[in-house]
Amino acid sequence: MLTALAASYDSGFYGMGGGMLYGLYDPTYILVLIGLVITLIASANVKRTFNRYDKIGSRRGITAAEAARKILDANGLYNIRIERVSGNLTDHFSPKENVIRLSDATFNSTSIAALGVAAHECGHAVQHQVGYVPIKIRNGIVPFVNVCSYASIPIIIIGIILGATGLAYVGVALFCAVLAFQIITLPTETNASSRAIKTLESMNLLDSEELAGAKKVLMAAAMTYFASVASTALQLFRLLLIINNSRRRD
Protein backbone atom coordinates (compact mmCIF):
# COMPACT_ATOMS: atom_id res chain seq x y z
CA MET A 1 0.00 0.00 0.00
CA LEU A 2 1.77 3.08 -1.18
CA THR A 3 0.44 6.00 0.81
CA ALA A 4 -2.52 4.97 2.89
CA LEU A 5 -0.50 2.90 5.32
CA ALA A 6 1.90 5.72 5.97
CA ALA A 7 -0.85 7.76 7.57
CA SER A 8 -2.81 4.93 9.15
CA TYR A 9 -0.81 4.82 12.37
CA ASP A 10 0.39 8.41 12.54
CA SER A 11 -0.49 9.85 15.92
CA GLY A 12 -3.15 12.20 14.58
CA PHE A 13 -3.12 14.09 17.85
CA TYR A 14 -1.50 17.32 16.75
CA GLY A 15 -2.66 20.12 19.01
CA MET A 16 -3.35 17.98 22.05
CA GLY A 17 -1.07 17.98 25.04
CA GLY A 18 1.05 20.95 26.04
CA GLY A 19 -1.10 23.69 24.59
CA MET A 20 -4.22 22.38 26.25
CA LEU A 21 -2.57 21.80 29.59
CA TYR A 22 -0.16 24.70 29.90
CA GLY A 23 -1.83 27.60 28.17
CA LEU A 24 -1.86 29.17 24.75
CA TYR A 25 1.90 29.22 24.22
CA ASP A 26 3.67 25.91 23.98
CA PRO A 27 7.18 25.92 22.48
CA THR A 28 6.97 22.18 21.82
CA TYR A 29 4.53 22.93 18.99
CA ILE A 30 7.59 23.56 16.82
CA LEU A 31 8.09 19.78 16.82
CA VAL A 32 4.52 19.33 15.56
CA LEU A 33 5.11 21.85 12.81
CA ILE A 34 8.36 20.21 11.74
CA GLY A 35 6.67 16.82 11.55
CA LEU A 36 3.76 18.29 9.61
CA VAL A 37 6.06 19.96 7.09
CA ILE A 38 8.01 16.72 6.59
CA THR A 39 4.86 14.71 5.89
CA LEU A 40 3.38 17.36 3.61
CA ILE A 41 6.57 17.54 1.56
CA ALA A 42 6.69 13.75 1.22
CA SER A 43 3.02 13.58 0.26
CA ALA A 44 3.35 16.35 -2.31
CA ASN A 45 6.45 14.70 -3.76
CA VAL A 46 4.80 11.30 -4.28
CA LYS A 47 1.78 12.91 -5.95
CA ARG A 48 3.99 15.05 -8.16
CA THR A 49 6.20 12.11 -9.13
CA PHE A 50 3.24 9.81 -9.79
CA ASN A 51 1.50 12.44 -11.92
CA ARG A 52 4.69 12.99 -13.92
CA TYR A 53 5.15 9.33 -14.85
CA ASP A 54 1.43 8.67 -15.11
CA LYS A 55 1.53 10.78 -18.27
CA ILE A 56 4.13 8.48 -19.87
CA GLY A 57 2.69 5.30 -21.33
CA SER A 58 4.70 2.10 -21.33
CA ARG A 59 5.88 0.95 -24.75
CA ARG A 60 4.24 -2.45 -24.39
CA GLY A 61 0.86 -0.83 -23.81
CA ILE A 62 -0.15 -3.30 -21.12
CA THR A 63 -2.50 -2.07 -18.41
CA ALA A 64 -1.63 -2.15 -14.71
CA ALA A 65 -4.36 -4.73 -14.08
CA GLU A 66 -3.02 -6.95 -16.84
CA ALA A 67 0.53 -6.58 -15.57
CA ALA A 68 -0.58 -7.49 -12.04
CA ARG A 69 -2.32 -10.61 -13.32
CA LYS A 70 0.80 -11.69 -15.21
CA ILE A 71 3.01 -11.14 -12.17
CA LEU A 72 0.68 -13.03 -9.84
CA ASP A 73 0.32 -15.94 -12.25
CA ALA A 74 4.08 -16.10 -12.75
CA ASN A 75 4.41 -16.59 -8.99
CA GLY A 76 1.67 -19.20 -8.81
CA LEU A 77 -0.76 -16.83 -7.08
CA TYR A 78 -3.76 -17.72 -9.22
CA ASN A 79 -6.13 -17.44 -6.25
CA ILE A 80 -5.54 -13.72 -5.76
CA ARG A 81 -8.15 -11.55 -7.44
CA ILE A 82 -7.59 -8.11 -8.92
CA GLU A 83 -10.33 -5.55 -8.34
CA ARG A 84 -10.86 -1.88 -9.02
CA VAL A 85 -11.26 0.52 -6.11
CA SER A 86 -12.29 4.16 -6.22
CA GLY A 87 -9.86 6.95 -5.47
CA ASN A 88 -6.33 7.93 -6.36
CA LEU A 89 -3.33 6.05 -4.94
CA THR A 90 -5.68 3.89 -2.86
CA ASP A 91 -4.04 0.76 -4.23
CA HIS A 92 -3.51 -2.02 -1.70
CA PHE A 93 -3.25 -5.76 -1.15
CA SER A 94 -5.66 -7.40 1.28
CA PRO A 95 -4.21 -10.75 2.43
CA LYS A 96 -7.37 -11.70 4.31
CA GLU A 97 -9.48 -11.39 1.17
CA ASN A 98 -6.77 -12.52 -1.28
CA VAL A 99 -7.33 -9.48 -3.45
CA ILE A 100 -5.24 -6.70 -4.93
CA ARG A 101 -7.24 -3.52 -5.36
CA LEU A 102 -6.02 -1.03 -7.91
CA SER A 103 -7.32 2.53 -7.86
CA ASP A 104 -9.17 4.31 -10.64
CA ALA A 105 -5.93 6.07 -11.58
CA THR A 106 -4.10 2.76 -11.88
CA PHE A 107 -6.37 -0.09 -12.95
CA ASN A 108 -6.71 0.53 -16.71
CA SER A 109 -3.71 2.81 -17.05
CA THR A 110 -0.77 1.78 -19.22
CA SER A 111 1.56 4.36 -17.67
CA ILE A 112 4.96 3.69 -16.14
CA ALA A 113 3.67 4.92 -12.78
CA ALA A 114 0.63 2.63 -12.83
CA LEU A 115 2.67 -0.47 -13.67
CA GLY A 116 5.10 0.37 -10.88
CA VAL A 117 2.27 0.67 -8.36
CA ALA A 118 0.60 -2.55 -9.51
CA ALA A 119 3.89 -4.46 -9.32
CA HIS A 120 4.48 -3.07 -5.83
CA GLU A 121 1.17 -4.47 -4.60
CA CYS A 122 2.04 -7.80 -6.20
CA GLY A 123 5.28 -7.59 -4.24
CA HIS A 124 3.26 -7.62 -1.03
CA ALA A 125 1.35 -10.67 -2.22
CA VAL A 126 4.62 -12.47 -2.90
CA GLN A 127 5.89 -11.49 0.55
CA HIS A 128 2.94 -13.33 2.09
CA GLN A 129 3.52 -16.32 -0.15
CA VAL A 130 7.19 -16.71 0.84
CA GLY A 131 6.62 -15.88 4.51
CA TYR A 132 8.62 -12.65 4.54
CA VAL A 133 9.33 -12.14 8.25
CA PRO A 134 8.82 -8.34 8.62
CA ILE A 135 5.36 -8.46 7.08
CA LYS A 136 4.39 -11.42 9.31
CA ILE A 137 5.47 -9.44 12.38
CA ARG A 138 3.71 -6.32 11.14
CA ASN A 139 0.42 -8.08 10.49
CA GLY A 140 0.63 -9.91 13.80
CA ILE A 141 0.83 -6.73 15.87
CA VAL A 142 -1.82 -4.71 14.02
CA PRO A 143 -4.62 -5.32 16.60
CA PHE A 144 -2.32 -4.36 19.49
CA VAL A 145 -1.08 -1.26 17.68
CA ASN A 146 -4.66 -0.19 16.96
CA VAL A 147 -5.38 -0.23 20.70
CA CYS A 148 -2.14 1.62 21.45
CA SER A 149 -2.91 4.26 18.83
CA TYR A 150 -6.25 5.13 20.43
CA ALA A 151 -5.28 4.71 24.08
CA SER A 152 -1.80 6.25 24.31
CA ILE A 153 -2.63 9.98 24.20
CA PRO A 154 -5.67 9.84 26.56
CA ILE A 155 -3.60 7.88 29.08
CA ILE A 156 -0.78 10.41 28.85
CA ILE A 157 -3.18 13.34 29.34
CA ILE A 158 -4.91 11.69 32.29
CA GLY A 159 -1.54 10.94 33.85
CA ILE A 160 -0.43 14.56 33.49
CA ILE A 161 -3.71 15.96 34.86
CA LEU A 162 -3.57 13.64 37.88
CA GLY A 163 0.13 14.23 38.40
CA ALA A 164 0.67 10.50 37.92
CA THR A 165 3.95 10.45 36.01
CA GLY A 166 4.04 6.66 35.98
CA LEU A 167 0.68 6.50 34.25
CA ALA A 168 1.82 9.09 31.72
CA TYR A 169 4.84 6.96 30.91
CA VAL A 170 2.56 3.96 30.37
CA GLY A 171 0.91 6.03 27.67
CA VAL A 172 4.34 6.82 26.22
CA ALA A 173 5.15 3.12 26.10
CA LEU A 174 1.94 2.51 24.15
CA PHE A 175 2.84 5.36 21.82
CA CYS A 176 6.23 3.73 21.25
CA ALA A 177 4.39 0.69 19.90
CA VAL A 178 2.90 2.91 17.17
CA LEU A 179 6.38 4.12 16.27
CA ALA A 180 7.70 0.55 16.30
CA PHE A 181 4.93 -0.48 13.90
CA GLN A 182 5.89 2.26 11.49
CA ILE A 183 9.54 1.25 11.66
CA ILE A 184 8.67 -2.39 10.96
CA THR A 185 6.58 -1.22 8.00
CA LEU A 186 9.62 0.36 6.33
CA PRO A 187 11.32 -2.89 5.20
CA THR A 188 8.01 -4.36 4.03
CA GLU A 189 7.47 -1.40 1.71
CA THR A 190 11.03 -1.08 0.43
CA ASN A 191 11.21 -4.84 -0.14
CA ALA A 192 7.91 -4.83 -2.06
CA SER A 193 9.26 -2.05 -4.27
CA SER A 194 12.51 -3.92 -4.83
CA ARG A 195 10.57 -7.03 -5.83
CA ALA A 196 8.43 -4.90 -8.13
CA ILE A 197 11.38 -3.44 -10.05
CA LYS A 198 13.07 -6.83 -10.42
CA THR A 199 9.85 -8.41 -11.66
CA LEU A 200 9.06 -5.64 -14.13
CA GLU A 201 12.56 -6.07 -15.53
CA SER A 202 12.71 -9.88 -15.59
CA MET A 203 9.27 -10.16 -17.22
CA ASN A 204 10.10 -7.40 -19.72
CA LEU A 205 7.04 -5.41 -18.71
CA LEU A 206 9.13 -2.22 -18.73
CA ASP A 207 12.38 -1.45 -20.50
CA SER A 208 15.43 0.03 -18.78
CA GLU A 209 14.43 3.64 -19.41
CA GLU A 210 10.90 3.03 -18.16
CA LEU A 211 12.22 1.19 -15.11
CA ALA A 212 14.08 4.34 -14.06
CA GLY A 213 10.77 6.20 -13.95
CA ALA A 214 9.03 3.42 -12.02
CA LYS A 215 11.88 3.44 -9.49
CA LYS A 216 11.39 7.17 -8.93
CA VAL A 217 7.67 6.67 -8.30
CA LEU A 218 8.25 3.88 -5.79
CA MET A 219 11.10 5.74 -4.10
CA ALA A 220 8.89 8.79 -3.66
CA ALA A 221 6.21 6.56 -2.15
CA ALA A 222 8.74 5.00 0.23
CA MET A 223 9.69 8.46 1.45
CA THR A 224 6.16 8.93 2.81
CA TYR A 225 6.82 6.07 5.22
CA PHE A 226 10.12 7.53 6.35
CA ALA A 227 8.37 10.88 6.80
CA SER A 228 5.71 9.21 8.92
CA VAL A 229 8.36 7.65 11.16
CA ALA A 230 10.11 11.00 11.55
CA SER A 231 6.85 12.77 12.37
CA THR A 232 5.86 10.19 14.97
CA ALA A 233 9.34 10.28 16.53
CA LEU A 234 9.09 14.06 16.86
CA GLN A 235 5.66 13.69 18.45
CA LEU A 236 7.09 11.15 20.90
CA PHE A 237 9.89 13.56 21.83
CA ARG A 238 7.28 16.28 22.35
CA LEU A 239 5.23 14.08 24.66
CA LEU A 240 8.32 13.32 26.75
CA LEU A 241 9.06 17.05 27.03
CA ILE A 242 5.49 17.75 28.13
CA ILE A 243 5.60 15.04 30.78
CA ASN A 244 8.96 16.28 32.02
CA ASN A 245 7.67 19.86 32.23
CA SER A 246 4.58 18.67 34.06
CA ARG A 247 6.70 16.81 36.62
CA ARG A 248 8.75 19.93 37.28
CA ARG A 249 5.59 21.98 37.84
CA ASP A 250 4.24 19.54 40.43
The pLDDT of 210-228, averaged and rounded, is: 96
Cβ–Cβ under 8 Å, residues 196 and 214: yes
Q: What is the pTM of this model?
A: 0.84
Sheet containing strand 81-85, strands side by side? 81-85, 99-103, 92-94
**Which of 66, 83, 97, 121 does the annotation list as catalytic?**
121
Q: What is the pLDDT of residues 50-64, one digit of tens each?
A: 999 999 999 999 999
| pLDDT confidence of residue 179 | 96
* Dihedral sign for Cα atoms in the order 125, 128, 133, 135: positive
Residue 73 has pLDDT above 80, yes or no: yes
The pLDDT of 24-44, averaged and rounded, is: 88
Q: Catalytic annotation on 121?
A: yes
